[in-house]
């Protein structure tokens, strides 16, 4: 460089200019070390943040053109989804919401608002409902939520969803997420569903309550009539329900999403609100983790260990239960207290993590369940865990959890656990295997690979509980974002029909990157990994699942009451209900309209039987 500068220039000004150019050139080149390939850059949106995507277009524009201008509003079916840019097939606009329920029950309806032209400042006015004796259901018993649209990777009602990559290149917007509102706008040629819930007070008087709510916009108003019949039966509080609901939780995702310190005060307050939905649906199992990342790092946010394994300098084991205790106590404080599951002696890949006290480093090792290392290390853990659970008074409600592992691994782990102590209870989720039947205290069986009704009944006679689950399969029935909502309610009825104790689902809250707007993650069907949204927000899928659980609970209560009654009409009613439930075991097609009729007929039988007591 010095040689070139000396002989290429004679003018001092030129030399100064060239040196400045060279300096700038080398300054630019030095930034190569912090550059990002343009192909990898995140896309920058030129628009403001939107709480939901609005990228879909009408498949049938002529239907919008044929629609009368102005505000349209009416009660749709809460068992269906209404797509954002398709004219809803609602025959009688402004029709009545007529529903029947017990004291303490929640009744749901779906109001649909749509227009061919833009609607501004749509808002609702709710009025008190009054029965024939002048008693009121206060307007505060009815809550409204705007239903927001979320991205899915399958179309509505898809029958080809599975655990593999979706065959569809395009995305699909599905209504699901609830959002509180005061008012909203409706763009031209679009639909906005609103979810209405009436929480009947436990001390309400029996009777039929009537009233109305108004939908108002700048372009006009619509009056919607409401008629709620309250029967003289009381639904217990969710914490006292018999249904065993097991929705797997990942409490770290709440801290990560909200950017707060895990297990700090902010995190715990967020968790209380987050878990309230689960508790309010009768949540039974507290999901805990005795090992780090039990499912092989296959989620967007992995589950971390609640019980820290520490190998002391002398080679002995110590276990830190600080996080485990905090989470269990927090869940119990809001009404989730019946069962604790600790996952798992069989993490996927047989990988275990511990802290090496001599170095301060985390160490990963593989301990196959047939190895001596597994036997020695898990014996030490189980001995310490047993003492800790006894001290806390939690042992009798705790299960060691195993999930979808192969038979050789599963049997080896069970053998080791039972050899340690016959006191341990074990729960397993997977296909039905007769060789596991008597070994498992709690068995959750994948729908479609199940035990017979008689085998489930035999387990119950031995004091064992049996539930079922759906996952990224089968395609139907399921709780995917694109699943017809009626399928979620049908699941409670199927539990009653097959003699199951309840239902399991992974997962309650394994959120992907943008869960409020986009439910897609990896190859899984959208919605497979979560049933509730950040901020403690519910959704159509979760509320429909809860409806089915309430149906199950009412059936359980009516059967129990009938055993104490000598009334022939009650006996005949229960006999007819049992016979009808048996027919549900034959359901295979899951046609939306057919399943709606099946549940509706069963619900009417429950309503009629409730009037006889």
> For residue 57, what pLDDT is reported?
95
Residue 73 has pLDDT above 90, yes or no: yes
> For residue 14, what pLDDT is reported?
47
Alpha carbon of 443 to those of 254, 446, 456, 466, 585: distances in Å? 29, 10, 10, 5, 19
> For residue 31, what pLDDT is reported?
56
Lowest mean pLDDT among 32-36, 146-150, 443-447, 545-549: 32-36
Spatial separation of the C-alpha atoms in residues 228 and 225, rounded to whole Å: 10
Question: Where in the chain do CATH 3.20.20 domains reside?
Answer: 239-540
Contact 111, 202 (CB under 8 A): no
First to last CA, the chain: 101
Spatial separation of the C-alpha atoms in residues 495 and 581, rounded to whole Å: 10
Chain position carrying tokens 């269906």: 80
Alpha carbon of 503 to those of 121, 344, 443: distances in Å? 41, 20, 11
Spatial separation of the C-alpha atoms in residues 171 and 149, rounded to whole Å: 12
Question: Where in the chain do CATH 2.60.40.10 domains reside?
Answer: 61-234
Upstream peptide bond of 344 is cis (omega within 30 degrees of 0): yes
Q: What angle do CA 507, 508, 514 make, to 5 degrees?
A: 90
φ, ψ for residue 587, nearest 5 deg? -65, 130
Which one, of 270, 243, 273, 230, lies nearest residue 141 by Cα? 230
Tell me if residue 281 falls in helix, strand or coil.
Answer: coil
Tens-digit pLDDT profile for residues 186-214: 999 999 999 999 999 999 999 999 999 99
Give 50's Cβ-side CA count (13 Å radius).
Answer: 12
Spatial separation of the C-alpha atoms in residues 6 and 190, rounded to whole Å: 73
What mean pLDDT is predicted for residues 78-89?
97
**β-pair partners for 169:** none
> For residue 1, what pLDDT is reported?
40
> For residue 15, what pLDDT is reported?
45
Alpha carbon of 546 to those of 195, 356, 493, 540: distances in Å? 14, 45, 11, 10
Chain position carrying tokens 């919008």: 64
Q: Which CATH class is domain 239-540?
A: alpha beta
What is the architecture, at CATH level 2, of domain 61-234? Answer: Sandwich (2.60)
Is the torsion defined by CA of 444, 339, 487, 55 positive or negative? negative
Tell me if residue 35 falls in helix, strand or coil.
Answer: coil
> For residue 550, what pLDDT is reported?
98
Q: Work out the number of other CB atoms within 10 angstroms of the CB of residue 65.
A: 10
Residue 488 has pLDDT above 70, yes or no: yes
Which one, of 571, 530, 547, lies nearest residue 493 by Cα? 547
Which one, of 76, 137, 136, 524, lies nearest residue 295 by Cα? 524
Confidence of residue 512 (pLDDT cuts 50, 70, 90): very high
Phi-psi label, residue 401: left if phi above 0, alpha if psi -120 to 50, beta otherwise: beta
Tens-digit pLDDT profile for residues 380-412: 999 999 999 999 999 999 999 999 999 999 999
What mean pLDDT is predicted for residues 79-92?
95
Residue 608 has pLDDT above 80, yes or no: yes
């Amino acid at each position: 460089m010095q040689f070139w500068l000396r002989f290429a220039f004679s003018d001092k000004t030129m030399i100064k200019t060239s040196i400045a150019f060279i300096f700038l050139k080398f300054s630019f080149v030095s930034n190569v070390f912090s550059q990002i390939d343009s192909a990898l850059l995140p896309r920058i949106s030129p628009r403001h943040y939107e709480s939901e995507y609005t990228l879909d277009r009408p498949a049938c524009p002529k239907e919008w053109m044929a629609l009368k201008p102005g505000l349209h509003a009416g009660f749709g079916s809460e068992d269906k989804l209404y797509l954002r840019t398709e004219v809803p097939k609602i025959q009688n606009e402004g029709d009545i919401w007529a529903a029947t329920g017990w004291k303490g029950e929640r009744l749901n309806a779906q109001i649909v608002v749509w227009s061919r032209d833009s609607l501004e400042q749509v808002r609702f006015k709710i009025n008190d409902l009054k029965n024939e004796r002048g008693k009121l259901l206060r307007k505060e018993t009815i809550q409204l939520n705007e239903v927001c649209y979320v991205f899915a990777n399958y179309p509505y009602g898809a029958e080809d969803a599975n655990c593999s990559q979706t065959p569809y290149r395009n995305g699909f917007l599905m209504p699901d997420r609830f959002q509180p509102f005061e008012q909203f706008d409706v763009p031209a040629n679009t639909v906005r569903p609103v979810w209405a819930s009436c929480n009947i007070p436990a001390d309400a008087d029996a009777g039929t309550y009537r009233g109305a709510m108004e939908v108002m916009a700048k372009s006009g108003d619509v009056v919607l009539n409401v008629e709620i019949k309250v029967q003289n039966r009381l639904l217990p509080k969710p914490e006292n329900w018999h249904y065993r609901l097991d929705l797997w939780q990942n409490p770290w995702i709440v801290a990560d999403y909200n950017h707060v310190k895990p297990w700090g005060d902010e995190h715990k307050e967020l968790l209380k609100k987050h878990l309230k939905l689960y508790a309010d649906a009768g949540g039974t199992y507290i999901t805990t983790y005795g090992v780090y990342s039990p499912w092989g790092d296959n989620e967007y946010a992995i589950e971390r260990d609640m019980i820290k394994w520490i190998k002391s300098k002398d080679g002995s084991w110590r276990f830190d239960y600080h996080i485990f205790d905090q989470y269990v106590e927090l869940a119990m404080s809001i009404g989730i207290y019946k069962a604790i599951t600790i996952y798992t002696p069989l993490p996927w890949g047989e990988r275990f993590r511990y802290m090496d006290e001599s170095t301060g480093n985390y160490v990963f090792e593989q301990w196959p369940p047939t190895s001596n290392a597994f036997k020695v290390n898990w014996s030490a853990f189980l001995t310490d865990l047993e003492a800790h659970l006894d001290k806390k008074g939690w042992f009798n409600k705790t299960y060691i959890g195993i999930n979808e592992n192969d038979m050789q691994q599963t049997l080896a782990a069970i053998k080791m656990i039972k050899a340690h102590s016959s006191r341990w209870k074990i729960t397993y989720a997977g296909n039905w295997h007769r060789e596991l039947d008597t070994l498992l205290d709690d068995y959750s069986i994948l729908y479609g690979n199940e035990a017979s009704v008689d085998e489930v009944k035999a387990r119950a006679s031995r004091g064992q509980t049996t539930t079922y689950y759906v996952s990224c399969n089968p395609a139907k029935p399921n709780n995917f974002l694109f699943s017809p909502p009626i399928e979620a309610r049908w699941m409670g009825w199927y539990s009653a029909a097959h003699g199951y104790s309840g239902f399991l689902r992974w997962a309650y809250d394994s959120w992907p990157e943008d869960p409020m707007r986009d439910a897609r993650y990896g190859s899984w069907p959208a919605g497979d990994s979560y049933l509730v949204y950040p901020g403690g927000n519910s959704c159509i899928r979760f509320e429909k699942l809860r409806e089915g659980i309430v149906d199950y609970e009412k059936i359980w209560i009516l059967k129990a009451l009938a055993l104490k009654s000598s009334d022939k009409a009650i006996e005949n009613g229960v006999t007819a209900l049992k016979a009808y439930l048996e027919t549900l075991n034959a359901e295979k097609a899951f046609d939306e309209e057919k399943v709606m009729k099946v549940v509706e007929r069963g619900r009417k039988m429950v309503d009629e039987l409730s009037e006889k007591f």
